[in-house]
Amino acid sequence: MRFLVFCFLSLLMVGCQGTNPYGLTTTSIGEKVVSTASGAAGNGVTPINGIKYVSLHPDRLLRDERTCTQVIKLSYASNINYSEAIIGLRNRALLVGGNAISIVGWAESASSSGLVGKIYLCKKKPFHIHY
């Protein structure tokens, strides 16, 4: 009986081993992840459609609101200014299904800015929407 259970579990574990139909392999440390990339990065952050439905509020207000649930806490750093960082966070909120954001940390230097923001999903927003 033990032998049958062992064989069954062995077959189950072998069946769980996935195959790689695309021939992808892991890269070694130090190798470039993307070696055939081409093109130029755009300048600045572009708002996506629907960003007007994601509003910025104090974290305390969103935490205290019963209809708001925190979706994710996100650290974001780039060589962009404050307003573009906020637009980037609002874009990400919209992509993960949130409709309200708050900033809980901010750091800025001469060449870059970074923030820690929280994204919330609020079923009923008793406050205004920023356009």
Asked if residue 84 has pLDDT above 70, the reply is yes
**Residue 60 CB coordination number (10 Å):** 9
The pTM assigned to this predicted structure is: 0.63
In the prediction, which pLDDT does 22 show?
43
Q: Tens digits of per-residue pLDDT, 14-43?
A: 444 445 444 445 444 455 555 565 655 567
Please state the rounded mean pLDDT for residues 67-73: 93
User: In angstroms, rounded to a whole number, what is the distance separating the alpha carbons of residues 49 and 64?
Assistant: 29
State how far Cα 45 lies from the chain centre.
Answer: 16
Average pLDDT of the residues of the chain = 75
Domain locations along the chain: 51-131
Query: Looking at domain 51-131, which of 3.40.50.720, 3.90.25.10, 3.30.1660.10, 1.10.8.290 is its CATH number?
Result: 3.30.1660.10
